[in-house]
Amino acid sequence: MKVLWKSVLLAGVSSLSIGGIGSVAAAQDTASAQVDTVVVTARRREESLQDVPIAVSAMSGEALEAIGAQDLTAVAQSMPNVTLENSRATNSTLTAFIRGVGQQDPVAGFEQGVGIYLDDVYLNRPQGAVLDVYDVERVEVLRGPQGTLYGRNTVGGAVKYVTRRLEADQPTFNAKLAYGSYNQLDAVVSGSIPLSDTFRVGAAVALLTRDGFGTNLTTGEENYNKDVLSARFSAEFEPTENLLIRFAIDHTQDDSAARQGYRLLPTISGAQPTLLNGDYDTLAGITTFGPIRKNELTATGGQLLIDWSINENWTFKSITAYREDETNSPIDFDSTAPQKFDAPVVYTNEQLSQELQLIYEGDRMTFVGGLYYLDANAFDAFDVVFTTVTSFTLGDVDTKTWAAFGEVTFDLSDAWSLTLGGRYTEDERTSRVIRQTFLGVNSPYFGNAGAVNLTPTVTVGGQQVVPEFNGSRTDEAFTPRVILAWEPSDTVNIYASYSQGFKGGGFDPRGNYSNADVRGGFLPETVDSYELGIKATLFDGRATANTAIFFADYQDVQIPGSVIVVGPPVSFVGTVTNAGAAEMSGVEFEGAASFTDNLSGTLAIGYIDAKYTEFMAGGINVASARDVQNTPDWTGSASLTYKAPLSMFSRTGEISFNGSAAYRGDTQQFEVAIPLLDQPGFWLYDAAVNWISDDGHLKLSLVGRNLADERYITSGYNFPGAATDNSVLAFWGNPRTVTASIAFRY
């Protein structure tokens, strides 16, 4: 607690510091220099960020472009207590943690604890969730459980990716071309056209390519390259000013090479030592010998929004969506040329969702309520090849969930308001799992018809069959939220809140179902969160200073993992542990200031004390020897931007210089410390120069990211031992890159 209060004091000092600089700015007669007003939909309706009594951060599409953000993971660099990373051995699967809550292992049918939303549509699976930054209006990050309005699987928070609306009364055309380090070549084209006074269409296409940061020294392929084609089409019909019907469809094809890891230990025989340099290089051989030799993701989704303003007080919304994706991935767990520990993997996901909302906005009361339904399927099949023995797993998980929710805000007076909300959720999970062991390299599912099945059979109806597991469970929960807010003036918002999040239980689609505990499945997890916050707008709008203090009680923590069963025969088994309980307490500060008309800055600081209070292993509480993964104690960032008028190419315009630094403290990859994989604290430094013409038609940019070329581990595999040939692999964050771009907007 001493460190917590130290961080609170630091946040307060930071607020005063911004205020002090703001007062200097006032003395310089810069009354026009104000921090931009940010509008968010964190409570399912449009509100100023400063008026929302929850911890939420937001970045506009323009701000993301200005810092050279290429995908969704970039926003975490400037937000406190947030982790967004590529999952290990993937290019487009997302690992998300907020305030210590999340899951590292993207197990099929096992949803993460941070909800990812694309235009208010929940993405049920992390595959394809590393969304590229193009045609985006803003990204919002809601910290803490959002169980009332956003529902299940938002026990840590929610990330909202909001795309741009179409212009109603004039055609638009935007084109951007970028070239940078490692032969990065990006081309993005978007536009819209009104076909009548009430109907308009638009589209955006992005081709995003880059050579690898390293090389596969066995196959000659690129490693950590990028080859993505994404497209989005939308149509809007607005027959009256009170009715909007919007249809959108998006498609992504990711043909980037398989991302393979870097060995941190030599093989037991010493035949393959660790590489002496080239952290992004690999010796993985599965893409030469395996049945799946190419990494490929195909993701498609469509949604229909009906937004009807019934009258000046009531609004009805319907959001219907369907999404599907398929991933083929060759994973080389040992990163060696021979097929010693390789895994061809297939994931497919489908989801159909329907949400109905009814919104009331009156003089003294605001209400948001509705119904939600989701029908989803997650299928995966994979081999794990141990030289001449193959462990095969097939998992098929159906999820059906529905919820009824409502939240009402009463203005008790001009200064005081009370928000009461709740959501009832019913979550049904049905799983089918097949686990088999074969003598031979790969199973019949992956093309080896001659593999010999070593799996013991059972007698069913007089016939010998390979056993399979079929299980189902239904979990129910009511998740409330209460917020008391006090606005003593138009520029100060003080609030206290309690909220709860819920994530349903299920079955590990990779589990060993000969074990009775595994057959019973894993339990739901819940988070009870308490928060005290203050949001202040200072010096006539020239600065903002927002601070939140929180405490969370995390129960029945779901931790997916995997182990090697030496056998004989050797096999690969998934595990899910309900770790008992954890507590998270911390503080977050976010500030922005316009010091003068030309100079502005931002500051973000996060501190969290995350610890297990109960973690049972073999009947013993080992909580003191376990740590919360992917949750550094300290996170922070600071930036300065200087703008000045500058004419170029016979055009008047403005040039801006931006410099930023971000810090991330010591990070542990798993619950148990692994010195080879755990990442010490580090800094990242970025800089950008942007010039834009006054009419907005032309923009030139030069962006440098990770300018110090810091090497930092984002994830890894830990399978030491003889059965896996001493496999411990690391995956790294991006090295230094410099990108130049030109954009036309009309």
Task: For residue 82, give the nearest of 686, 673, 628, 636 by alpha carbon.
Answer: 636
% of residues, the chain, pLDDT over 90: 74
Tokens 């409570």 belong to 43
Contact call for residues 97 and 85 (beta carbons, < 8 A): no
Residue 521 pLDDT exceeds 80: yes
Which whole-number Å values give the CA distances from 429 to 381, 416, 508, in the listed order?
19, 42, 11
Q: Which residues, listed in sequence order, are joined to residue 648 by a DSSP beta bridge?
A: 651
Residue 16 pLDDT exceeds 90: no
User: Which pLDDT belongs to residue 6?
Assistant: 42
Spatial separation of the C-alpha atoms in residues 235 and 724, rounded to whole Å: 52
- How many domains in the chain? 1
Q: What digits encode the pLDDT tens for the residues 560-574?
A: 888 888 878 888 888
Q: What digits encode the pLDDT tens for the residues 318-348?
A: 999 999 999 999 999 999 988 889 999 999 9
Q: What is the CATH number of the domain that holds 175?
A: 2.40.170.20
Residue 148's pLDDT band (boundaries 50, 70, 90)? Answer: very high
Predicted TM-score (pTM) of this structure: 0.91
Residue 272 pLDDT exceeds 80: no
461: left (phi over 0), alpha (psi -120 to 50) or beta: left
The backbone torsions φ and ψ at residue 542, rounded to the nearest 5 degrees and listed phi first, read: -85, -10
Residue 14 pLDDT exceeds 50: no
User: Which pLDDT belongs to residue 70?
Assistant: 86
Which whole-number Å values give the CA distances from 554 to 501, 557, 612, 666, in the listed order?
9, 7, 9, 22
Residue 27 pLDDT exceeds 70: no
Is 600 or 1 the better-scoring residue by pLDDT? Answer: 600
What does the DSSP 8-state code read for residue 364? S
Residue 476 pLDDT exceeds 90: yes
Residue 105 CA neighbour count, 13 Å, CB half: 21
Contact call for residues 737 and 182 (beta carbons, < 8 A): yes
Residue 466 pLDDT exceeds 80: no
Contact call for residues 66 and 623 (beta carbons, < 8 A): no
Residue 276's pLDDT band (boundaries 50, 70, 90)? Answer: low
Which runs of E-coded beta strand occur in 652-736? 653-664, 682-693, 698-705, 713-719, 727-732
Is 697 or 22 the better-scoring residue by pLDDT? Answer: 697
Residue 1 pLDDT exceeds 50: no
Q: What digits encode the pLDDT tens for the residues 29-58?
A: 444 578 888 899 999 989 999 999 999 999
Contact call for residues 708 and 684 (beta carbons, < 8 A): yes
Which range among 132-141, 636-645, 647-656 shows the weakest confidence by mean pLDDT?
Answer: 132-141
Spatial separation of the C-alpha atoms in residues 589 and 536, rounded to whole Å: 11
- Sequence-distant (6+) residues with CB within 8 A of 91 are 130, 226, 254, 256, 259, 295, 297
Residue 575 pLDDT exceeds 60: yes
Residue 456 pLDDT exceeds 90: no
User: Which pLDDT belongs to residue 9?
Assistant: 37
For the chain, give the number of residues. Answer: 746
Residue 125 pLDDT exceeds 90: no
Q: Which contiguous run of DSSP H or E holds residue 168?
A: none
Residue 20 pLDDT exceeds 60: no
Helices and strands in the chain, H and E counts:
4, 44
Residue 107's pLDDT band (boundaries 50, 70, 90)? Answer: confident
Q: What digits encode the pLDDT tens for the residues 221-246?
A: 999 999 999 999 999 999 999 999 99
Spatial separation of the C-alpha atoms in residues 300 and 348, rounded to whole Å: 12
Residue 389 pLDDT exceeds 90: yes
Which range among 68-77, 170-179, 658-667 shows the weakest confidence by mean pLDDT?
Answer: 68-77
Contact call for residues 173 and 746 (beta carbons, < 8 A): yes
Q: Which contiguous run of DSSP H or E holds residue 329?
A: strand 314-332
What does the DSSP 8-state code read for residue 650? T
Q: Residue 45 is part of which domain span?
A: 2-745
CA dihedral 38, 42, 43, 44 (to 10 degrees): 90
Spatial separation of the C-alpha atoms in residues 739 and 687, rounded to whole Å: 11
Spatial separation of the C-alpha atoms in residues 146 and 498, rounded to whole Å: 11
Task: For residue 559, give the nearest of 116, 144, 112, 151 by alpha carbon.
Answer: 112
Spatial separation of the C-alpha atoms in residues 158 and 191, rounded to whole Å: 29
Task: For residue 450, give the nearest of 438, 462, 468 by alpha carbon.
Answer: 438
Q: Which residues, listed in sequence order, are joined to residue 129 by a DSSP beta bridge?
A: none
Q: What digits encode the pLDDT tens for the residues 609-630?
A: 999 999 988 889 999 999 999 9
Spatial separation of the C-alpha atoms in residues 234 and 559, rounded to whole Å: 39
Spatial separation of the C-alpha atoms in residues 586 and 533, rounded to whole Å: 12
Token pair of 12 as six digits: 């307060």
Residue 2 pLDDT exceeds 80: no
CA dihedral 717, 720, 722, 725 (to 10 degrees): 50
Residue 379 pLDDT exceeds 60: yes
Residue 12 pLDDT exceeds 60: no
User: Which pLDDT belongs to residue 698?
Assistant: 96
Spatial separation of the C-alpha atoms in residues 614 and 461, rounded to whole Å: 45
User: Which pLDDT belongs to residue 19?
Assistant: 37
Supply the mean pLDDT for the chain: 90
Radius of gyration from C-alpha coordinates of the chain:
26
Residue 418 pLDDT exceeds 90: yes
Residue 671 pLDDT exceeds 60: yes
